[in-house]
């Protein structure tokens, strides 16, 4: 019987999934990705015939050695048989090694191909898809579900053929040796299959309980660590420790129960094998004393019994392997079925001689029956610096997402530089327009590497030049290693304002023609904010700036101010803002 990766994956079976529910379209995922391994797959299957042949021939050589040479004391002939046995055993070893290697190679090659295709597909899906799916779910499909395909290819397909052919060959050889011995062996097979099925059913339920408890424990730990500042601020360490301890104990108890059930499986299989062997010895002994069979036939039959139980044990778990892989294939297929709603052209148009934004009759809602923006008309000339305000939930950020092509309008048109913005290629559009949100993600790299993230033509010198123009040398010099300082996971070593400063520099170094700051300076120190806005006002006079903010000071830089309300966007003046008070200028939705 074979173990390793497949055995581990089988223990994670999704017992709620039924193979009959598998979308047949999902099978094309395998077909399309296994084509490149067709030759090696055929080679692995052919090796199956060699392995099955050796399993049949080795006991036959045992019979010949005993009946034809040992019983007659013809040791010269015995030496030839022994040499043949050793040679055949070496052939079996090499064929098994080669098949195992090929099965793993094919499995991992297909795994790599599917994972690469799936990741490329998911990372290019719209932001709407990622908003609707948790990171953990996406990661689980990319890592765990794709990993289950390895088990399907190696254990579920190649070894299935190998074990099935071996079983048929051994059974046929046993029938040729003696019918009564063959029938005796067949009596034990239903016992093995039934006991495996029964234990497997109980074990899958126990393992489901383990997975549910682990999920609860993981969620509890993640929540506590994510909110560690709040926990410590309100002296919640003891309470949270108690909760996690309780979840840990439940998980431990579930795992012990699953292990207790799992520990029964192989001993029962061994017991069934021992019973089968005992029956063969008992039946064979009776036939031997009656001179119906020879000692060589009995020893060959005993050898066949030992050889048949390994493949039987593998095959007894094959449904579990297919069930696991089927559930994984179905989930992978469901993710691949998600299509891009926002599609960019491979070769797009170029703008005219300006980057004016012309919005006409824009209507948008995440759902058709929940319209957020309706019949919006707005013209933003190149070089304009405009502010956008509005109450929470009014649609400010939604408007920015539509303008930045995270979503396309339900109705209406947006022109940039006289070109419908759907007619730009992705690269061209990202060169023209950059959105900087309030929540900034920083990678665990240095500060300057975060600033130049995704840019192959920018280096540390370019960052230093930009920082000098922004007059922020002193600001970045305060870091332990300056621009070479590593920011840690998600930039945890930086404050909110520091992260926003890095993010603004990351957007500016790309030198876009249109820059949108969506509450992107809300945590900045006022002096840093002034320096950045000073640079924008002098060096970016011909570039378009759109500021979504609730800070009145940020609006000093703007030429025009618009308020988002009642599904529309309306121009207002600063006097109206001051008269309205802060309740009209609130944080973003």
Nearest in space to 298 (alpha carbons), one of 69, 67, 89, 80 = 67
Q: Taking every pair of C-alpha atoms in the chain, what is the biggest distance, in angstroms?
A: 118
What proportion of the chain, given as a percentage, has pLDDT over 90?
12
198 against 113, higher pLDDT: 113
Position 236 confidence tier, pLDDT thresholds 50, 70, 90: low
Per residue in 262-280, pLDDT (tens digit) is: 777 778 777 877 888 888 8
pLDDT of residue 1: 44
User: Looking at the predicted structure, is the pLDDT value of residue 364 above 60?
Assistant: yes
User: Looking at the predicted structure, is the pLDDT value of residue 206 above 60?
Assistant: yes
Per residue in 451-505, pLDDT (tens digit) is: 888 888 788 888 888 889 888 888 888 888 888 888 877 777 788 888 888 888 8
Mean of the per-residue pLDDT values of the chain: 81
Helices (H), 290-425: 295-316, 318-336, 396-403
User: Looking at the predicted structure, is the pLDDT value of residue 8 above 50?
Assistant: no
Whole-angstrom CA distances from 14 to 10, 155, 195, 211, 331 are 9, 17, 20, 10, 11
Per residue in 504-520, pLDDT (tens digit) is: 888 888 889 999 988 87
pLDDT of residue 381: 93
Per residue in 521-536, pLDDT (tens digit) is: 777 788 888 888 888 8
User: Looking at the predicted structure, is the pLDDT value of residue 323 above 60?
Assistant: yes
pLDDT of residue 26: 63
Going by DSSP bridges, is the β-strand pair 385-390/544-548 parallel, antiparallel, or unpaired? Answer: parallel
Nearest in space to 514 (alpha carbons), one of 390, 379, 384, 402 = 384
Per residue in 23-75, pLDDT (tens digit) is: 566 666 777 777 778 888 889 889 988 998 998 899 999 989 998 888 888 87
pTM tops 0.75: no
Per residue in 13-22, pLDDT (tens digit) is: 455 555 555 5
pLDDT of residue 25: 63
pLDDT of residue 9: 36
Which residue matches tokens 């397909």? Answer: 157
Read off φ and ψ for residue 371, nearest 5 degrees. -75, 130
User: Looking at the predicted structure, is the pLDDT value of residue 256 above 60?
Assistant: yes
Read off φ and ψ for residue 363, nearest 5 degrees. -130, 135
């Amino acid at each position: 019987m074979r173990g390793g990766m497949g055995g581990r994956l089988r223990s994670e079976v999704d017992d709620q999934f039924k193979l009959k529910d598998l979308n047949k379209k999902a099978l094309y995922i395998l077909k399309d990705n296994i084509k490149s391994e067709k030759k090696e797959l055929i080679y692995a299957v052919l090796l199956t015939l060699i392995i099955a042949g050796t399993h049949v021939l080795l006991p036959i050589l045992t019979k010949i050695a005993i009946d034809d040479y040992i019983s007659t004391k013809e040791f010269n002939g015995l030496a030839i048989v022994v040499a043949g046995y050793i040679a055949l055993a070496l052939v079996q070893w090499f064929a098994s090694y080669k098949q195992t290697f090929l099965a793993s190679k094919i499995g991992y090659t297909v795994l790599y191909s599917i994972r690469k295709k799936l990741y490329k597909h998911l990372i290019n899906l719209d932001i709407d898809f990622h908003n609707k799916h948790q990171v953990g779910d996406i990661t689980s499909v990319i890592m765990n579900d794709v990993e289950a395909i390895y088990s399907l290819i190696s254990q579920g397909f190649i070894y299935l053929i190998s074990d099935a052919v071996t079983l048929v060959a051994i059974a046929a050889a046993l029938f040729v040796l003696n019918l009564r011995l063959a029938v005796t062996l067949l009596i034990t097979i239903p016992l093995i299959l039934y006991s495996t099925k029964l234990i497997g059913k109980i074990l899958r339920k126990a393992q489901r309980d383990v997975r549910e408890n682990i999920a609860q424990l993981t969620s509890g730990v993640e929540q506590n660590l994510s909110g560690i500042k709040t926990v410590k601020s309100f002296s919640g360490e003891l309470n949270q420790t108690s909760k996690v301890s309780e979840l840990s104990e439940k998980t431990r108890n579930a795992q012990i129960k699953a292990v207790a059930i799992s520990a029964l499986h192989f001993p029962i299989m061994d017991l069934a094998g021992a019973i089968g062997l005992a029956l063969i010895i008992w039946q064979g002994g009776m036939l031997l004393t009656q001179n119906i069979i020879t000692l060589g036939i009995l020893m060959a039959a005993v050898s066949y019994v030992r050889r048949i139980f390994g493949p039987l044990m593998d095959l007894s778990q094959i449904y579990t392997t297919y069930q696991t892989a089927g559930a994984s294939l179905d989930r992978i297929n469901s993710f691949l079925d998600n299509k891009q709603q926002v599609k960019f052209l491979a070769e797009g148009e170029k703008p005219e001689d300006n980057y004016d934004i012309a919005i006409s009759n824009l209507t948008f809602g995440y759902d058709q029956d929940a319209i957020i923006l309706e019949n919006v008309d707005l013209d933003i000339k190149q070089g304009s610096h405009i502010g956008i305000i509005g109450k929470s939930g009014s649609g400010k950020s939604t408007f920015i997402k539509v303008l930045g092509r995270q979503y396309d309008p339900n109705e209406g048109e947006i022109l940039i530089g006289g070109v419908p913005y759907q007619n730009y290629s992705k690269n061209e559009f990202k060169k023209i327009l950059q959105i900087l949100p309030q929540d900034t993600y920083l990678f665990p790299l240095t500060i300057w590497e975060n600033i130049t993230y995704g840019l192959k033509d920018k280096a540390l010198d370019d960052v230093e030049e930009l920082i000098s123009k922004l007059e922020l040398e002193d600001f970045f010099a305060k870091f332990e290693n300056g621009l070479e300082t590593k920011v840690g996971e998600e930039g945890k070593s930086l404050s909110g304002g520091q992260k926003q400063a890095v993010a603004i520099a990351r957007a500016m170094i790309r030198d876009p023609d249109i820059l949108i700051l969506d509450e992107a300076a809300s945590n900045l120190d006022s002096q840093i904010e002034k320096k950045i806005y000073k640079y924008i006002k002098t060096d970016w006079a011909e570039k378009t700036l759109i500021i979504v903010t609730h800070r009145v000071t940020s609006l000093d830089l703007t030429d025009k101010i618009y308020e988002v309300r009642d599904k529309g966007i309306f121009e207002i003046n600063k006097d109206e803002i001051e008269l309205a008070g802060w309740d009209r200028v609130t944080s973003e939705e």
